[in-house]
Structure 1
Amino acid sequence: MTPIDDDAPPLDPAESLALIERERAQVGRDLSPDPRLMYWPWGIAWLVTFTLFFLRYGPDGRVFVDLPGWLPLVALAVCMIAAGIVTGVAGSRVSRRVMGPSNRQGAMYGISWSVAFTAFSVLFSQISDVLPEDKAGLLWAGGMVAVTGALHMAGAAIWNDRDMFILGSWTSLINIVGILAGPGWHSLIVAVAGGGGMMAAGLIGWLRQR
Protein backbone atom coordinates (compact mmCIF):
# COMPACT_ATOMS: atom_id res chain seq x y z
CA MET A 1 0.00 0.00 0.00
CA THR A 2 1.40 3.36 -1.04
CA PRO A 3 1.54 5.72 1.96
CA ILE A 4 -0.27 9.01 1.72
CA ASP A 5 1.39 12.30 2.71
CA ASP A 6 0.13 12.04 6.29
CA ASP A 7 1.82 8.64 6.61
CA ALA A 8 5.20 9.91 5.34
CA PRO A 9 7.97 9.71 7.92
CA PRO A 10 9.03 13.03 9.46
CA LEU A 11 12.10 14.74 8.12
CA ASP A 12 15.31 14.37 10.10
CA PRO A 13 16.72 17.56 11.71
CA ALA A 14 19.19 18.21 8.87
CA GLU A 15 16.48 17.97 6.21
CA SER A 16 14.19 20.18 8.27
CA LEU A 17 16.87 22.87 8.58
CA ALA A 18 17.62 22.68 4.87
CA LEU A 19 13.91 23.05 4.07
CA ILE A 20 13.62 26.07 6.39
CA GLU A 21 16.65 27.70 4.74
CA ARG A 22 15.24 27.11 1.25
CA GLU A 23 11.90 28.61 2.23
CA ARG A 24 13.58 31.58 3.92
CA ALA A 25 15.71 32.23 0.86
CA GLN A 26 12.64 32.04 -1.40
CA VAL A 27 10.76 34.53 0.77
CA GLY A 28 13.79 36.83 0.72
CA ARG A 29 13.88 36.74 -3.08
CA ASP A 30 10.15 37.42 -3.31
CA LEU A 31 10.42 40.44 -1.00
CA SER A 32 13.57 41.93 -2.56
CA PRO A 33 13.63 43.91 -5.81
CA ASP A 34 15.79 42.66 -8.64
CA PRO A 35 19.23 44.22 -8.02
CA ARG A 36 19.68 44.66 -11.76
CA LEU A 37 16.65 46.96 -11.90
CA MET A 38 17.88 48.92 -8.91
CA TYR A 39 21.49 49.46 -10.05
CA TRP A 40 21.77 49.02 -13.80
CA PRO A 41 19.60 52.03 -14.79
CA TRP A 42 21.80 54.31 -12.69
CA GLY A 43 24.98 52.63 -13.91
CA ILE A 44 23.93 53.16 -17.52
CA ALA A 45 22.92 56.75 -16.76
CA TRP A 46 26.30 57.53 -15.19
CA LEU A 47 28.22 55.78 -17.95
CA VAL A 48 26.40 57.65 -20.72
CA THR A 49 26.12 61.12 -19.22
CA PHE A 50 29.55 61.44 -17.62
CA THR A 51 31.14 60.13 -20.81
CA LEU A 52 29.38 62.92 -22.69
CA PHE A 53 30.67 65.45 -20.16
CA PHE A 54 34.20 64.12 -20.58
CA LEU A 55 34.03 64.28 -24.38
CA ARG A 56 32.63 67.83 -24.36
CA TYR A 57 34.39 69.25 -21.28
CA GLY A 58 37.68 67.38 -21.10
CA PRO A 59 40.74 68.08 -18.95
CA ASP A 60 42.23 71.58 -19.26
CA GLY A 61 39.24 72.68 -21.35
CA ARG A 62 39.95 70.20 -24.12
CA VAL A 63 37.02 69.29 -26.38
CA PHE A 64 37.34 65.73 -27.65
CA VAL A 65 34.02 65.80 -29.51
CA ASP A 66 32.43 69.12 -30.46
CA LEU A 67 29.01 68.36 -28.97
CA PRO A 68 26.43 71.08 -28.32
CA GLY A 69 27.03 72.46 -24.86
CA TRP A 70 23.49 71.68 -23.77
CA LEU A 71 23.59 68.02 -24.83
CA PRO A 72 25.36 66.54 -21.75
CA LEU A 73 23.02 68.40 -19.40
CA VAL A 74 19.89 67.31 -21.26
CA ALA A 75 21.17 63.73 -21.42
CA LEU A 76 21.86 63.85 -17.68
CA ALA A 77 18.33 65.03 -16.90
CA VAL A 78 16.69 62.47 -19.20
CA CYS A 79 18.80 59.54 -17.97
CA MET A 80 18.29 60.43 -14.30
CA ILE A 81 14.52 60.70 -14.72
CA ALA A 82 14.39 57.41 -16.63
CA ALA A 83 16.52 55.64 -14.02
CA GLY A 84 14.38 57.03 -11.22
CA ILE A 85 11.20 55.77 -12.88
CA VAL A 86 12.62 52.26 -13.42
CA THR A 87 13.90 51.87 -9.87
CA GLY A 88 10.79 53.48 -8.41
CA VAL A 89 8.50 51.03 -10.20
CA ALA A 90 10.70 48.06 -9.24
CA GLY A 91 10.78 49.15 -5.60
CA SER A 92 7.06 49.88 -5.38
CA ARG A 93 6.16 46.41 -6.64
CA VAL A 94 7.99 44.93 -3.66
CA SER A 95 6.89 47.51 -1.09
CA ARG A 96 3.24 46.72 -1.77
CA ARG A 97 3.88 43.24 -0.40
CA VAL A 98 5.63 44.48 2.74
CA MET A 99 3.97 46.11 5.73
CA GLY A 100 5.29 47.51 8.97
CA PRO A 101 8.70 48.99 9.89
CA SER A 102 10.49 47.76 6.76
CA ASN A 103 8.03 49.56 4.51
CA ARG A 104 8.39 52.77 6.52
CA GLN A 105 12.16 52.48 6.44
CA GLY A 106 12.11 52.20 2.66
CA ALA A 107 9.79 55.18 2.30
CA MET A 108 11.89 57.37 4.60
CA TYR A 109 15.08 56.32 2.84
CA GLY A 110 13.61 57.23 -0.55
CA ILE A 111 12.49 60.62 0.76
CA SER A 112 16.01 61.20 2.13
CA TRP A 113 17.43 60.94 -1.38
CA SER A 114 15.02 63.56 -2.72
CA VAL A 115 15.60 65.95 0.19
CA ALA A 116 19.39 65.61 0.05
CA PHE A 117 19.64 66.23 -3.70
CA THR A 118 17.22 69.15 -3.51
CA ALA A 119 19.15 70.77 -0.66
CA PHE A 120 22.49 70.41 -2.42
CA SER A 121 21.05 71.71 -5.69
CA VAL A 122 19.81 74.85 -3.94
CA LEU A 123 23.17 75.32 -2.22
CA PHE A 124 25.25 74.80 -5.35
CA SER A 125 23.05 77.12 -7.40
CA GLN A 126 23.85 79.91 -4.94
CA ILE A 127 27.63 79.60 -5.18
CA SER A 128 28.43 78.10 -8.60
CA ASP A 129 28.08 81.48 -10.36
CA VAL A 130 31.15 82.83 -8.57
CA LEU A 131 33.33 79.92 -9.74
CA PRO A 132 34.99 79.33 -13.11
CA GLU A 133 32.87 77.14 -15.38
CA ASP A 134 35.06 74.06 -15.00
CA LYS A 135 35.20 74.37 -11.20
CA ALA A 136 31.43 74.91 -11.01
CA GLY A 137 30.90 71.74 -13.02
CA LEU A 138 33.24 69.84 -10.70
CA LEU A 139 31.34 71.21 -7.69
CA TRP A 140 28.00 69.95 -9.01
CA ALA A 141 29.26 66.56 -10.17
CA GLY A 142 31.49 65.88 -7.18
CA GLY A 143 28.85 67.00 -4.70
CA MET A 144 26.09 64.86 -6.17
CA VAL A 145 28.30 61.78 -6.39
CA ALA A 146 29.36 62.37 -2.78
CA VAL A 147 25.72 62.40 -1.70
CA THR A 148 25.11 59.18 -3.61
CA GLY A 149 28.01 57.39 -1.94
CA ALA A 150 27.02 58.56 1.54
CA LEU A 151 23.37 57.55 1.09
CA HIS A 152 24.38 54.12 -0.20
CA MET A 153 26.42 53.59 2.97
CA ALA A 154 23.55 54.86 5.12
CA GLY A 155 21.16 52.45 3.39
CA ALA A 156 23.62 49.64 4.02
CA ALA A 157 23.55 50.45 7.73
CA ILE A 158 19.73 50.40 7.76
CA TRP A 159 19.39 47.01 6.05
CA ASN A 160 22.73 45.50 7.11
CA ASP A 161 23.65 45.15 3.44
CA ARG A 162 27.39 44.60 2.99
CA ASP A 163 27.26 44.84 -0.80
CA MET A 164 25.55 48.24 -0.67
CA PHE A 165 28.15 49.48 1.80
CA ILE A 166 30.96 48.34 -0.50
CA LEU A 167 29.30 50.13 -3.42
CA GLY A 168 28.90 53.32 -1.37
CA SER A 169 32.51 53.16 -0.23
CA TRP A 170 33.71 52.55 -3.79
CA THR A 171 31.62 55.44 -5.11
CA SER A 172 33.02 57.76 -2.43
CA LEU A 173 36.59 56.65 -3.12
CA ILE A 174 36.49 57.14 -6.88
CA ASN A 175 34.73 60.48 -6.37
CA ILE A 176 37.58 61.70 -4.17
CA VAL A 177 40.14 60.49 -6.71
CA GLY A 178 38.23 62.23 -9.51
CA ILE A 179 37.96 65.51 -7.59
CA LEU A 180 41.68 65.49 -6.90
CA ALA A 181 42.38 64.69 -10.56
CA GLY A 182 40.37 67.75 -11.54
CA PRO A 183 37.65 68.75 -14.02
CA GLY A 184 37.36 66.49 -17.02
CA TRP A 185 39.16 63.59 -15.40
CA HIS A 186 36.45 63.43 -12.75
CA SER A 187 33.83 62.82 -15.44
CA LEU A 188 35.86 60.00 -16.98
CA ILE A 189 36.53 58.31 -13.63
CA VAL A 190 32.90 58.51 -12.53
CA ALA A 191 31.67 57.27 -15.92
CA VAL A 192 33.92 54.21 -16.01
CA ALA A 193 34.49 53.32 -12.36
CA GLY A 194 31.23 54.72 -10.97
CA GLY A 195 28.88 53.54 -13.70
CA GLY A 196 30.79 50.28 -14.03
CA GLY A 197 30.67 49.78 -10.26
CA MET A 198 26.89 50.05 -10.26
CA MET A 199 26.61 47.63 -13.16
CA ALA A 200 28.84 45.17 -11.28
CA ALA A 201 26.83 45.63 -8.07
CA GLY A 202 23.59 44.80 -9.90
CA LEU A 203 25.09 41.69 -11.46
CA ILE A 204 26.64 40.44 -8.22
CA GLY A 205 23.44 41.07 -6.29
CA TRP A 206 21.39 39.20 -8.90
CA LEU A 207 23.75 36.22 -8.87
CA ARG A 208 23.63 36.03 -5.08
CA GLN A 209 19.87 36.39 -5.08
CA ARG A 210 19.59 33.41 -7.41
Structure 2
Amino acid sequence: MTGSNASASFDDPDERPPADPATALRMIAEQQAEAARRLTPNMLLYYWPWGLAWLIGFGLFFLRFGPDGRVLVALPAWLPLTTLLGLLAVAALLTGLVSARAYGQVTGESARRGAWYGISWGLGFATMTTVLAQVSDRLPDELSTLLWSGVMVGLTGALHMAGGAIWLDRNLFTLGAWISVTNVVGIVTGPGWHALVVAIAGGGGMVVVGGLVELRRRRPTPALPERGTR
Protein backbone atom coordinates (compact mmCIF):
# COMPACT_ATOMS: atom_id res chain seq x y z
CA MET A 1 0.00 0.00 0.00
CA THR A 2 2.86 2.28 0.79
CA GLY A 3 4.36 1.79 -2.64
CA SER A 4 1.08 2.47 -4.43
CA ASN A 5 0.56 5.67 -2.45
CA ALA A 6 4.08 6.82 -3.26
CA SER A 7 3.60 6.22 -6.97
CA ALA A 8 0.19 7.88 -6.93
CA SER A 9 1.64 11.01 -5.36
CA PHE A 10 3.80 11.54 -8.46
CA ASP A 11 1.05 11.07 -11.05
CA ASP A 12 1.25 14.82 -11.72
CA PRO A 13 4.36 15.39 -13.89
CA ASP A 14 5.07 18.68 -12.06
CA GLU A 15 5.39 16.81 -8.77
CA ARG A 16 7.79 14.12 -9.99
CA PRO A 17 11.41 14.38 -8.81
CA PRO A 18 14.03 15.54 -11.35
CA ALA A 19 15.22 12.83 -13.70
CA ASP A 20 18.91 13.74 -13.41
CA PRO A 21 21.26 16.01 -11.38
CA ALA A 22 21.50 18.61 -14.15
CA THR A 23 17.74 19.10 -14.13
CA ALA A 24 17.74 19.35 -10.33
CA LEU A 25 20.46 22.01 -10.43
CA ARG A 26 18.58 23.94 -13.08
CA MET A 27 15.38 23.88 -11.02
CA ILE A 28 17.26 25.07 -7.92
CA ALA A 29 18.87 27.92 -9.88
CA GLU A 30 15.51 29.00 -11.28
CA GLN A 31 13.91 28.98 -7.82
CA GLN A 32 16.80 30.96 -6.35
CA ALA A 33 16.57 33.52 -9.16
CA GLU A 34 12.82 33.89 -8.62
CA ALA A 35 13.28 34.35 -4.86
CA ALA A 36 16.00 36.95 -5.45
CA ARG A 37 13.77 38.79 -7.91
CA ARG A 38 10.92 38.98 -5.38
CA LEU A 39 13.18 40.16 -2.55
CA THR A 40 15.21 42.66 -4.62
CA PRO A 41 13.57 46.08 -4.91
CA ASN A 42 13.14 47.66 -8.33
CA MET A 43 15.99 50.17 -8.33
CA LEU A 44 14.25 52.17 -11.05
CA LEU A 45 11.76 53.21 -8.36
CA TYR A 46 14.69 54.39 -6.23
CA TYR A 47 16.63 56.30 -8.84
CA TRP A 48 13.87 57.98 -10.85
CA PRO A 49 11.74 59.53 -8.07
CA TRP A 50 14.83 61.02 -6.40
CA GLY A 51 16.39 61.97 -9.72
CA LEU A 52 13.30 63.76 -11.01
CA ALA A 53 12.77 65.47 -7.64
CA TRP A 54 16.29 66.90 -7.74
CA LEU A 55 16.26 67.71 -11.43
CA ILE A 56 13.02 69.70 -11.12
CA GLY A 57 13.41 71.07 -7.58
CA PHE A 58 17.02 72.21 -7.80
CA GLY A 59 16.45 73.34 -11.37
CA LEU A 60 13.86 75.79 -10.03
CA PHE A 61 16.33 76.87 -7.34
CA PHE A 62 18.92 77.69 -9.99
CA LEU A 63 16.43 79.67 -12.07
CA ARG A 64 15.17 81.69 -9.09
CA PHE A 65 18.38 81.99 -7.02
CA GLY A 66 21.10 82.01 -9.65
CA PRO A 67 24.83 82.74 -9.25
CA ASP A 68 25.74 86.15 -7.81
CA GLY A 69 22.15 86.66 -6.68
CA ARG A 70 20.79 86.83 -10.22
CA VAL A 71 17.16 85.92 -10.87
CA LEU A 72 17.14 84.06 -14.17
CA VAL A 73 13.37 83.47 -14.10
CA ALA A 74 11.04 85.60 -11.96
CA LEU A 75 9.48 82.78 -9.95
CA PRO A 76 7.86 83.27 -6.52
CA ALA A 77 10.56 82.97 -3.87
CA TRP A 78 8.65 80.23 -2.05
CA LEU A 79 8.13 78.03 -5.13
CA PRO A 80 11.52 76.25 -5.43
CA LEU A 81 11.70 75.11 -1.80
CA THR A 82 8.03 74.12 -1.67
CA THR A 83 8.34 72.15 -4.90
CA LEU A 84 11.55 70.45 -3.80
CA LEU A 85 10.20 69.43 -0.39
CA GLY A 86 7.00 68.12 -1.95
CA LEU A 87 8.86 66.05 -4.54
CA LEU A 88 11.30 64.74 -1.93
CA ALA A 89 8.36 63.68 0.25
CA VAL A 90 6.87 61.77 -2.69
CA ALA A 91 10.25 60.15 -3.43
CA ALA A 92 10.68 59.13 0.21
CA LEU A 93 7.16 57.66 0.26
CA LEU A 94 7.82 55.64 -2.90
CA THR A 95 11.13 54.44 -1.47
CA GLY A 96 9.37 53.25 1.67
CA LEU A 97 6.64 51.47 -0.30
CA VAL A 98 9.15 49.75 -2.58
CA SER A 99 11.26 48.64 0.38
CA ALA A 100 8.22 47.39 2.28
CA ARG A 101 7.09 45.39 -0.73
CA ALA A 102 10.53 43.91 -1.33
CA TYR A 103 11.36 43.11 2.29
CA GLY A 104 7.84 42.61 3.60
CA GLN A 105 8.30 38.83 3.59
CA VAL A 106 11.41 39.15 5.73
CA THR A 107 10.90 38.88 9.47
CA GLY A 108 13.00 39.07 12.60
CA GLU A 109 16.20 41.10 12.67
CA SER A 110 15.94 42.22 9.04
CA ALA A 111 12.43 43.54 9.60
CA ARG A 112 13.59 45.55 12.61
CA ARG A 113 16.45 46.99 10.60
CA GLY A 114 14.03 48.15 7.94
CA ALA A 115 11.67 49.72 10.46
CA TRP A 116 14.44 51.52 12.31
CA TYR A 117 15.97 52.69 9.04
CA GLY A 118 12.66 54.20 8.00
CA ILE A 119 12.32 55.94 11.36
CA SER A 120 15.83 57.37 10.98
CA TRP A 121 14.78 59.08 7.74
CA GLY A 122 11.83 60.81 9.38
CA LEU A 123 13.68 61.85 12.53
CA GLY A 124 16.77 62.91 10.60
CA PHE A 125 14.92 65.27 8.29
CA ALA A 126 12.69 66.58 11.09
CA THR A 127 15.78 67.40 13.17
CA MET A 128 17.63 69.11 10.33
CA THR A 129 14.55 71.10 9.32
CA THR A 130 14.11 72.36 12.89
CA VAL A 131 17.76 73.37 13.21
CA LEU A 132 17.96 75.06 9.82
CA ALA A 133 14.74 76.98 10.40
CA GLN A 134 16.31 78.53 13.51
CA VAL A 135 19.55 79.47 11.78
CA SER A 136 18.76 80.32 8.16
CA ASP A 137 16.90 83.57 8.89
CA ARG A 138 20.14 85.06 10.23
CA LEU A 139 21.99 84.50 6.95
CA PRO A 140 21.87 86.26 3.58
CA ASP A 141 19.43 84.66 1.15
CA GLU A 142 22.09 83.05 -1.03
CA LEU A 143 23.90 81.49 1.95
CA SER A 144 20.61 80.42 3.51
CA THR A 145 19.65 78.63 0.30
CA LEU A 146 23.07 76.95 0.09
CA LEU A 147 22.82 75.87 3.74
CA TRP A 148 19.37 74.31 3.30
CA SER A 149 20.19 72.50 0.09
CA GLY A 150 23.67 71.39 1.15
CA VAL A 151 22.53 69.93 4.47
CA MET A 152 19.47 68.18 3.03
CA VAL A 153 21.40 66.68 0.13
CA GLY A 154 24.21 65.63 2.48
CA LEU A 155 21.76 63.92 4.84
CA THR A 156 20.12 62.12 1.92
CA GLY A 157 23.46 60.82 0.70
CA ALA A 158 24.49 59.65 4.17
CA LEU A 159 21.19 57.81 4.73
CA HIS A 160 21.44 56.07 1.37
CA MET A 161 24.97 54.91 2.17
CA ALA A 162 23.81 53.74 5.60
CA GLY A 163 21.04 51.71 3.96
CA GLY A 164 23.53 50.17 1.56
CA ALA A 165 25.80 49.23 4.47
CA ILE A 166 22.92 47.72 6.48
CA TRP A 167 21.71 45.44 3.67
CA LEU A 168 25.04 45.13 1.82
CA ASP A 169 23.30 46.69 -1.18
CA ARG A 170 25.94 47.96 -3.59
CA ASN A 171 23.46 49.92 -5.72
CA LEU A 172 22.05 51.81 -2.73
CA PHE A 173 25.51 52.55 -1.31
CA THR A 174 26.77 53.73 -4.71
CA LEU A 175 23.76 56.02 -5.04
CA GLY A 176 24.51 57.56 -1.63
CA ALA A 177 28.18 58.02 -2.50
CA TRP A 178 27.31 59.71 -5.80
CA ILE A 179 24.89 62.04 -4.01
CA SER A 180 27.55 62.96 -1.44
CA VAL A 181 30.29 63.64 -3.98
CA THR A 182 27.93 65.72 -6.12
CA ASN A 183 26.89 67.71 -3.05
CA VAL A 184 30.49 68.50 -2.09
CA VAL A 185 31.33 69.63 -5.63
CA GLY A 186 28.24 71.83 -5.70
CA ILE A 187 29.01 73.43 -2.34
CA VAL A 188 32.57 74.21 -3.40
CA THR A 189 31.31 75.93 -6.56
CA GLY A 190 29.26 78.25 -4.36
CA PRO A 191 25.72 79.62 -4.06
CA GLY A 192 23.61 79.36 -7.18
CA TRP A 193 25.95 76.92 -8.87
CA HIS A 194 25.28 74.27 -6.23
CA ALA A 195 21.69 73.98 -7.39
CA LEU A 196 22.77 73.56 -11.01
CA VAL A 197 25.37 70.88 -10.17
CA VAL A 198 22.93 68.91 -8.02
CA ALA A 199 20.15 69.23 -10.60
CA ILE A 200 22.24 68.01 -13.56
CA ALA A 201 24.89 65.71 -12.06
CA GLY A 202 22.74 64.52 -9.18
CA GLY A 203 19.20 64.46 -10.53
CA GLY A 204 20.02 63.90 -14.19
CA GLY A 205 22.67 61.34 -13.31
CA MET A 206 20.22 59.34 -11.20
CA VAL A 207 17.65 59.33 -14.01
CA VAL A 208 20.24 58.00 -16.47
CA VAL A 209 21.63 55.40 -14.06
CA GLY A 210 18.11 54.29 -13.16
CA GLY A 211 17.39 53.61 -16.81
CA LEU A 212 20.63 51.62 -17.21
CA VAL A 213 19.93 49.57 -14.08
CA GLU A 214 16.43 48.77 -15.34
CA LEU A 215 17.77 47.64 -18.71
CA ARG A 216 20.26 45.35 -16.98
CA ARG A 217 17.54 43.99 -14.69
CA ARG A 218 15.35 43.09 -17.66
CA ARG A 219 18.18 41.31 -19.43
CA PRO A 220 17.36 37.58 -19.39
CA THR A 221 19.45 35.40 -17.10
CA PRO A 222 21.45 32.79 -19.02
CA ALA A 223 20.01 29.32 -18.47
CA LEU A 224 22.12 26.45 -17.25
CA PRO A 225 23.25 24.19 -20.10
CA GLU A 226 21.34 21.01 -20.73
CA ARG A 227 23.01 17.76 -19.78
CA GLY A 228 25.42 16.66 -22.44
CA THR A 229 25.73 20.13 -24.05
CA ARG A 230 28.77 22.40 -24.04
TM-score by length of 1: 0.88
Aligned to 1:177: 185
Counterpart pick for 2:176 among 159, 163, 168: 168
Change (3 A) 1:7 1:202: closer
User: 1:92: how far off?
Assistant: 2.8
Counterpart residue number, 2:27 = 19
1:36 is the counterpart of 2:51: no
Q: Which runs of 5+ in 1 are unaligned?
A: none
- Cα distance change, pair 9–143 in 1 and its aligned pair in 2 (3 A): same
- 1:155 equivalenced with 2:167 (yes/no): no
Is 1:67 the equivalent of 2:75? yes
CA contact (8 A) 2:40 2:102 kept: yes
Percent identity over the alignment? 50
User: Given residue 173 of structure 1, which amino acid in structure 2 is its aligned partner?
Assistant: V
In structure 2, the residue matched to 1:56 is 64
The alpha-carbon distance between structure 1 residues 19 and 8, as it changes in their structure 2 partners (threshold 3 A), is closer
Count of paired positions? 206
Aligned to 2:21, what secondary structure does the other structure show?
Answer: coil
Alignment of 1:52-201 (within 5 A): 52-201=60-209
Query: 1 CA distance for matches of 2:213 and 2:109?
Result: 23
CA-CA distance at 1:122 after TM superposition: 1.7
Q: Output the CA distance in 1 between the equivalents of 2:162 and 2:110.
A: 15
1:7 CA drift (Å): 7.9
TM-score (norm 2): 0.81
**Structure 2 SS opposite 1:69:** coil
In 1, Cα distance between the equivalents of 2:38 and 2:17?
32
Q: Kindly provide the amino acid, as one letter, of the partner of residue 188 in structure 2.
A: L
1:59-104 deviation line (CA, Å, top 9, x unaligned): 0011111111121122123212322333333333334332222222
Name the structure, 1 or 2, with higher relative contact order (CA <8 Å, separation 6+): 1
Contact 2:68 2:192 in 1 (8 A): yes
Runs of 4+ in 1 over 6 A off after TM superposition: none
User: Do the aligned residues in 2 keep the contact of 1:33 with 1:94 (CA within 8 Å)?
Assistant: yes
- Following superposition, the deviation at residue 183 of structure 1 comes to 0.7
Q: Is the 8 A contact 1:56 1:64 kept in 2?
A: yes
